[in-house]
Amino acid sequence: MAVKRKGLGKGLDSMIPNKNIREKKEEVATTVKESSEAGPNVVMLNINEVEPNRDQPRKNFNEDGIIELAESIKLKGVIYPIMVNKKDDYYQIVAGERRWRASKMAGIKKIPAIIRDLTDLETLEYAIIENIQREDLNPIEEALAYKQLLEEHNLKQDEVAERVSKSRTAVTNAMRLLKLDERVQQMIIDDMISTGHARALLAIDDKESQYILANRVFDEKLSVREIEKLVKSLKNPKKEDKKAKEDHSYLFKDLEEKMQEVMGTKVKVNAKGNGKGKIEIEYYSNSEFEHLFDMITSIKGE
C-alpha cells in the first residue's frame, strides 16, 4: 500500500507537545530587531552565551553569504530570531547558526532568540527540517543527518522518513551516497559532480575506480548518460572487448580504399581477429563480375 506523503514539518507535532506546526512557523517568522520590538516569545540573549550545536547537520557555510548577511545586520539588525535550547550555563543553537555567525561578525552584542526545551532527538529533527525547508543542506550533509537519526537515536528508515516528511525511498537514496569514496563525497559537496553522476558511480564497488571516474566527469564534463556507459563497460568487460574488436575495423580502411581504386567497386574487409577475416567485393552486373574475375585471374597468371 502506498505511503501517504505528509506536509513538510508534520512530525514536529509529536516533538513538541501541545504546540502545532503553524504556531512554530509563526514564531520563527516573527520579525524583530535588537530593541523593545521583541515580543513575549522572543528574548534578547548575550551573543557570547550562545553556542552552535556540534551535531548540527549543516557543516558548510558560504563565507561570502555570511559576510553579506553581516553587512545587512549592521544596517537593519537581526530580522528573524534564532531558536535555542537552554543548557546548564549556555544556550545551544537549534536553528539559525548562520544568523548567529553573521551577528558575531557584525559585532552585535545581543541576538533575538526563541528558547525551547528540546531533547537531543528533537533538536536534531528540528535542525534537519529547518535546513530542508531552506534547502541549506548539501546531499552529503542530508545523508549524514539521516544516518545520525538512524544510528544515534535507534530509528528505522521509515521512522526517519516520517519525522522529516520525506519518502522512505528518498531517505534510502540519500544515504546510499555515503557508500562512495570519501573523496568523491567531497566532490559532491564542492559541486564538482552532481548527485546524478554520483548515483551512477555507486554501481562500482572499488573506491579508487569511483574516484578516477569522478575526476573524469569533472575534467571532461561528462554527462550522466556518458558516465553510465563507462560504468557499464567496467562492469561488463567481455562484451565491451568484443565490441572493441568490431570497432577496430577502421584499421583496414586504408586497405579498403586502395583495393576499391584498383577494382573500381566497393570492397569491405571484415576482420575476425587472430589474423582471420574475409574480403567482400561487390559487383552490380554480369559484365562487372566478368571484369573482376579477369582481373583476379590475371594476377595469378602474372
Displacement of CA 171 from its chain's centroid (Å): 13
The residue with cell 563525497 is 185
Alpha-carbon distance 59 to 138, whole Å? 9
Q: What would the grid cell of residue 294 be?
A: 579477369
- C-alpha–C-alpha distance, residues 14 and 164, integer Å: 12
Amino acid at 184: V
46 touches 55 (CB < 8 A): no
- Check: CB of residue 47 under 8 Å from CB of residue 109: yes
Instruction: Kindly report the number of other CB atoms within 10 A of residue 251's CB atom.
Output: 10
Q: Is 97 a catalytic site residue?
A: yes
Sequence-distant (≥ 6) Cβ neighbours of residue 153 within 8 angstroms? 120, 121, 124
Collapsing DSSP to helix, strand or coil, 255 comes out as helix
Alpha carbon separation from 172 to 132, 168, 220, 228, 284 (Å, rounded): 16, 6, 30, 21, 63
Could you tell me if 127 and 95 are in contact, meaning their C-beta atoms sit under 8 angstroms apart? Answer: yes
d(CA 110, CA 266): 87
Q: What single-letter DSSP state applies at residue 5?
A: P
How large is the angle between the packed helices 168-176 and 139-152, nearest 10 degrees? 110
Residue tagged active-site, from 34, 97, 141, 290: 97
Active site residues: 97
